[in-house]
Structure 1
Amino acid sequence: MNRSARILTAILVPVLVIALCGCAPEKKAKERRIAFVFKVDGLLYSEVCKRGAMQAAKELGVRVDYLAPDKAEVGKQIAIVEQLIAEKTDAIVISPNDADAIVPVIRKAMDAGVKVFTWDSDAPASQRIFYVAAADDVKIGEDIADALAKDIGEKGKVQIVSGGRGAANLNLHVQGMEKAFAKYPGITLVQPYIYNDDDNQKARTMAIAALQKDPDIVGFACANSPSAPAVGEAITSLNKIGAVKVWGLALPSETRQYLKSGAVSGLMLWDPAKLTYYTAKVVNAYLDGKQPEDGEQVEGIGAVSFSNGVLLIPGVTITKENVDEFDF
């Protein structure tokens, strides 16, 4: 190789390297990940929520995970959140088993740059960005109590039933029930309240025990989804249909037979799939820089309200007359 060729080669080789580097494919952008953390796995309510999350994932083109502990224990939820922080998840949406105990790990996630939201159940003292629910938690309790009071002629003994003692949404439902029942001097609330930890079998067993202990109970106000069908089953097994009235929160599919038989009078609810679907969409929009809007009309949902960090979608009253209109 002569001197001119060597000079030309020395010039061309770096240019070739630079050109090859310039042609290298761009690194694929990190896929956005939104992780839902529910109270407990295995409930039909949870499965319906999951359906909404998966639908949102398809439409949004983002990764949406749905996680839940095998028992309704806040410690197990905290462990899931810790793992999601380590995995640098973009957003965590949680329904806390204990509104207070979850606060430190939410702070840790936010400090680590992970955006945290609550849905279905709130942790109002935490740094969560906003809370998405189907109606005001206290108002739901009031509506259940008022409907039950009317059903029992505004007199008699009423048993309040709930799930976990630390669940903020359930405690607010109970507060609403207490507030409403206070308007009816003829109604006596049976003490202690029943807490069944969102366990279907425990809910049924505890309802039977309550009725056997106090046969004068004429109504059950149920704050969590497993309770109304479980109480309906208990009333049926004890041949007390008509003598004991039940109002609460539950899925139509789990309660349909009891609504039609009269063991359960009615439900105050929403579509959990739509709630979770909408939550995924509004969280994804927030990550894109868009804030929720008060009064926005959402297709398939209706008008949503947004105030003081709480985003609410409309609910519905379900009775034997309209239960077949719902497929969840």
Structure 2
Amino acid sequence: MRYSRRWMSTVIATASAGALVLTGCSKKDENTSGASTASSGAVKVAFVPKVQGIPYFEAMNTGGKAAAKKLGIQWIYQGATTGDAAAQADIVKSLIQQKVDVIAVAPNDPDSLAPVLKLAKQAGIKVMTTDTDAPNSARQVFVNQATAEGIGRALTDQIAKATGGEGEYAIVSCGQTAANLNSWIAEQKSYTASKYPKLKIADIVYAGEDQAQAVTMAKSLMSAHPNLKGLVGECTTSAPGVAQAVKEAGKIGKVFTVGVGTPTSMKPFLNDGSSSASVLWDVQNLGYLTAWAGAQLAADKSFQVSNKVNASMPAVTYTADQKMLLLGEPLIITKANAGEFDY
């Protein structure tokens, strides 16, 4: 099932229930969780998330497993339980020792991970990034969920819509060195200034991949800025975190929140009004595309300008000068469509 989607302020969120211009939605009645049935001699594609165990990366894992089953590859999912760059580097080193064929990683700190990715490439392993890039590394392709412009503008449009386009809002991000989040924030700064001159960014703080910390920081921001009208949770742990903070502070309808959150985690907050909207993409399809790209690299196949991955991703674009596969445009999740997803 495919839906129309637009990320500008004219987006009608209820018309969007699939991710990005390229994908269909992951409905609750679809089975996408099957593990790989590949033999031990199959190509091994290892995915290292920023942190294992949170809904976002678990959904990517589900998509990767579905692709592995379809493509006949072995999908390995291994990450640290905290968003620690050193721990992530250790996992990559372990995978090098295991002699996997492909390592796909969502870097917590792109610069510190670059030397480890270089070691992987020197060992003959294909190297790629997904969800978050490390552009100055040895990676051979970046699987990008959406452009920084698309996500940054969508977040800004949604907070502007909720606040009436004026007043102060603050951003609760996650990892301070996360390249994707920082690129979105840079876009939010410039787009807010140009499109919404009466709307100001009061502060930006970093909670790591920790929802409880995001709650605490959001409450502190509301205390420090008594006129604050909005909060943006920049990642899938801070998005529910800022909404929870508003709910616990008794400020629903006074302080508005939007963020990058998974449908299931955001549904209760969208329902009670502590969150106005979530900006995301089809996370399971991002995982599927990651596994597919890994299989292509392992087989030394070139990416085309337009790539048919499967029926729901018939035209994934590839930009050669950036070595980037682009899933598409963001999806706006609201109270009306949050229940249509299973992650």
TM-score over 0.5 for the pair: yes
Secondary structure at the counterpart of residue 267 of structure 1? strand
1:310 aligns with 2:301: no
Which residue type is aligned with residue 321 of structure 1?
A
Tell me the residue number matched to 1:325.
Answer: 340
Residues 103-123 of structure 1: per-residue CA shift (max 9 Å, x gap): 111111111111100001000
**1:323 partner letter:** A
The equivalent position to 2:312 in structure 1, one of 300, 306, 309, is 300
Deviation at 1:148, TM superposition (A): 1.1
For the residues of structure 1 that align with 2:40 and 2:263, how far apart are their CA atoms? 42
Instruction: Give the percent of matched residue pairs that are identical in Structure 1 and Structure 2.
Output: 34
How far 1:41 moved relative to its partner?
1.9
Q: Which residue of 2 aligns with 1:272?
A: 283
Specify the code of the residue in structure 2 equivalent to 1:227: S
Q: 8 Å contact 1:138–1:175 — kept in the other structure?
A: no
Secondary structure of 1:76's partner? Answer: helix
- 2:165 aligned to 154, 179, 187, which one? 154
Following superposition, the deviation at residue 29 of structure 1 comes to 8.5
Structure-1 separation of matches of 2:229 and 2:148: 24
Aligned mates of 1:148, 1:107 — CA distance in 2 = 40
The one-letter code matched in structure 2 to 1:305 is T
| 1:311 partner amino acid | L
Structure 1 Cα separation of the partners of residues 246 and 287 of structure 2: 32
TM-score by length of 2: 0.83
Counterpart position of 1:197? 208
Distance 1:93 1:216, change over 3 A: same
Q: Is 2:198 the counterpart of 1:186?
A: yes
Contact 1:138/1:174, CA 8 A, preserved across alignment: no
Q: Give unpaired runs (5+ residues) of structure 1.
A: 1-27
> Bigger radius of gyration, 1 or 2?
1
Higher relative helix content: 1
Shift of 1:289: 2.7
CA deviations 1:127-169 (Å, max 9, x no partner) are 1001002111242012211221232122111101110011111
Q: Structure 2 unaligned runs (5+)?
A: 1-38
Q: CA deviation at 1:67?
A: 0.7
Distance 2:293 2:113 in 1: 22
SS at match of 1:190: strand
TM-score by length of 1: 0.87
Residue 172 of structure 2 contacts residue 242 of structure 2 at CA under 8 Å; is this kept in 1? no
Check if 1:45 corresponds to 2:59.
no
Residues 165-244 of structure 1 aligned to structure 2 (within 5 Å):
165-183=176-194, 184-191=196-203, 193-244=204-255
Greater relative CO (CA pairs within 8 A, separation 6+) = 2
- Encode CA deviations 1:261-280: one digit per residue, 9 max, x unaligned: 22111111112111111210
SS in 1 for 2:110: coil
Contact 1:146-1:180 within 8 A present in 2 as well: no
Q: CA deviation at 1:84?
A: 1.1
> 1:164·1:197 contact (CA, 8 Å) conserved in 2?
yes
Offset at 1:31? Answer: 3.1
Corresponding position of 1:10: none
* Counterparts of residues 1-16 of structure 1 (less than 5 Å): none
Output the CA distance in 2 between the equivalents of 1:29 and 1:152. Answer: 54
| Root-mean-square deviation (Å) | 1.6
Q: 2:258 is paired with a residue of what secondary structure? A: strand
* Counterpart position of 2:109: 98
Conserved 8 A contact 1:34-1:93 = yes
Task: Report deviation, 1:100.
Answer: 0.9
The amino acid that maps onto 2:93 is E
In structure 1, distance between residues paired with 2:314 and 2:249: 41
Residues 137 and 172, structure 1, Cα contact 8 Å, conserved in 2:
yes
State which drifts further: 295-304 or 161-170: 295-304
- The AA in structure 1 aligned to 2:318 is F
For residue 200 of structure 2, give the secondary structure of its aligned residue in structure 1: strand
CA–CA separation in structure 1 for the residues paired with 2:70 and 2:174: 33
Contact 2:63 2:288 in 1 (8 A): yes
* Contact 1:130-1:309 within 8 A present in 2 as well: yes
Aligned to 2:87: 76
Q: Secondary structure at the match of 1:317?
A: strand
- How many residue pairs are counted as aligned between the two chains? 300
